[in-house]
Amino acid sequence: MRIPCPNCGERGLEEFSYRGDATVTRPTSIEPSSESAWLDYVYLRDNPYGPHWEFWHHISGCRAWFRLKRDTVTHEVLAVALAAEVDGEDHRS
């Protein structure tokens, strides 16, 4: 698989590290009443089918963190942006 780094351009998968689902929202409360939300956040993950936002880290290059929208069926890359540039946008679709 080839991944387009926002800084370095397209590179081989071996230069990158998958860092997780970019659609998961961290709970805001640390109160005991939100324990269920924290358990879901830490332990439950979907197995998405189709287009999905992911976090990636260019570990053997510029060391940038970015979000990548990838089709989990075909591995086609649909969009990519530095993580800092997309904060506040909805990446759940």
CATH number of the domain enclosing 20: 3.30.2270.10
pLDDT at 93: 45
Q: What is the pTM of this model?
A: 0.80
Helix (H) or strand (E) holding 41: helix 35-43
Q: What is the mean pLDDT of residues 78-85?
A: 91
* Domain count along the chain: 1
pLDDT, greater one: 13 or 84: 13
- What's the pLDDT tens digit per position in 29-68? 888 888 999 999 889 888 889 999 999 999 999 999 999 9
Confidence of residue 86 (pLDDT cuts 50, 70, 90): low
Tell me if 78 is assigned to some domain. Answer: yes
User: What is the 3-state composition of the chain as percent helix, strand, coil, each rounded to the nearest 5?
Assistant: 20, 35, 45
Cα distance between residue 61 and residue 42, in whole Å? 29
